[in-house]
Amino acid sequence: MASITLEELHAYHAIDRSVFSRLVITLRRDPAESLLVMAMWLWLEEKGYPNIIAKMVNLSDPLLEALAGEAVSCLNCLGSKNPTIPPNGILPLTTRIMEKDVSLHMFYQNKFSTISGIKSFMTTVCSRIFTDILQHVVGSTSRVIPNQPLVIPGFPHSLFGSVTIVPRAMDHDFPIGGLWGWNPSNTVSEDDRTLFLTFSRGFPVSEDEIRELFTNIGVCVDSVRMQDNVPYGEQPLFAKMVLRSVANVDQILSGRPIAKFRINGKHIWARKYERRE
């Protein structure tokens, strides 16, 4: 399989590395938070905001600081169950730099797609291209052990999970497929694509009805797992529904914690599935 060295990877992401270095070294911003900010900006580039990071290279430090602050407000919005969003919710500086509206509403309406995208870029891209910079920053506050993951205060994160960042030699090879080797969309877990459905007692809902309802509103259902171990003569009261993509989750919930649907006179409530250990 073809491969790329860490040195070549650094060269390809030179602009991203320059901006990240300014965040954590020049501006002394929190490393964990800055990783998430960079992952969010990379995700925005994939979603149709081209060259967003390149446009930051020549900005003054105060402007870069302000842009990072707007990005953090988005991260906080995603982490809140009931965020307070102003009427227009526009991020003024980000919108000006992008020459395209960017708002908190946009992030919250696509909450689960955004969270999944940020997690993917953080674990597949940021964890590889910023290692030496992070090693320089956290090495001053904690012991760095060769070939062992760096301890980044703030991870595991309550919303975005954990990230493994291992210092490597510059000639270390990363196997690639296609051009640069990874597609963040391929890292989405099944849990990220799962909804938890509940039903009213006395109004039994079948798997076929669930598939019919959600297929008719334009989402792709991979599987439906009805409540098992139901006592004889009683109905399932809940189910887990796995969707084809995280975008389907946002399509169904549309920024709401719970969405209500009706089929054949029966109600179905949908919310994001959260695994409980």
Which band of pLDDT confidence, cut at 50, 70 and 90, is reported for residue 140? low
Q: Average pLDDT for residues 40-66, to the nearest whole number?
A: 92
Q: Average pLDDT for residues 218-222, to the nearest whole number?
A: 92
Q: Average pLDDT for residues 190-195, to the nearest whole number?
A: 92
Higher-confidence position of 4 and 18: 18
How confident is the model at residue 233, as a pLDDT? 83
Residue 103 corresponds to which amino acid?
Answer: S
Cis peptide before 153 (omega within 30 of 0): no
How confident is the model at residue 176, as a pLDDT? 65
**pLDDT exceeds cutoff 80 at 187:** no
**pLDDT exceeds cutoff 60 at 153:** yes
Mean model confidence pLDDT for the chain = 87
pLDDT tens per residue, range 63-115: 999 999 999 999 999 988 777 777 778 899 999 988 888 888 888 889 999 99
How confident is the model at residue 264, as a pLDDT? 94
Asked whether 194 and 240 are in contact (CB, 8 A), the reply is yes
* Helices assigned H by DSSP within 156-242: 207-216
User: What phi, psi does 211 have (nearest 5°)?
Assistant: -60, -40
Domains and CATH numbers, the chain: 3-183 (no CATH), 190-272 (3.30.70.330)
* Helices assigned H by DSSP within the chain: 6-12, 14-21, 31-46, 61-79, 92-98, 104-109, 111-121, 127-129, 131-138, 207-216, 246-253
How confident is the model at residue 58, as a pLDDT? 92
Predicted structure pTM score:
0.84
**pLDDT exceeds cutoff 50 at 180:** no
Asked whether 188 and 112 are in contact (CB, 8 A), the reply is no
Asked whether 144 and 32 are in contact (CB, 8 A), the reply is no
Picking from 1, 259, 236, 268, the residue whose alpha carbon sits closest to that of residue 111 is 259
Higher-confidence position of 120 and 180: 120
**pLDDT exceeds cutoff 80 at 124:** yes
Residues 6+ apart with CB under 8 A from 2: 175, 176, 177
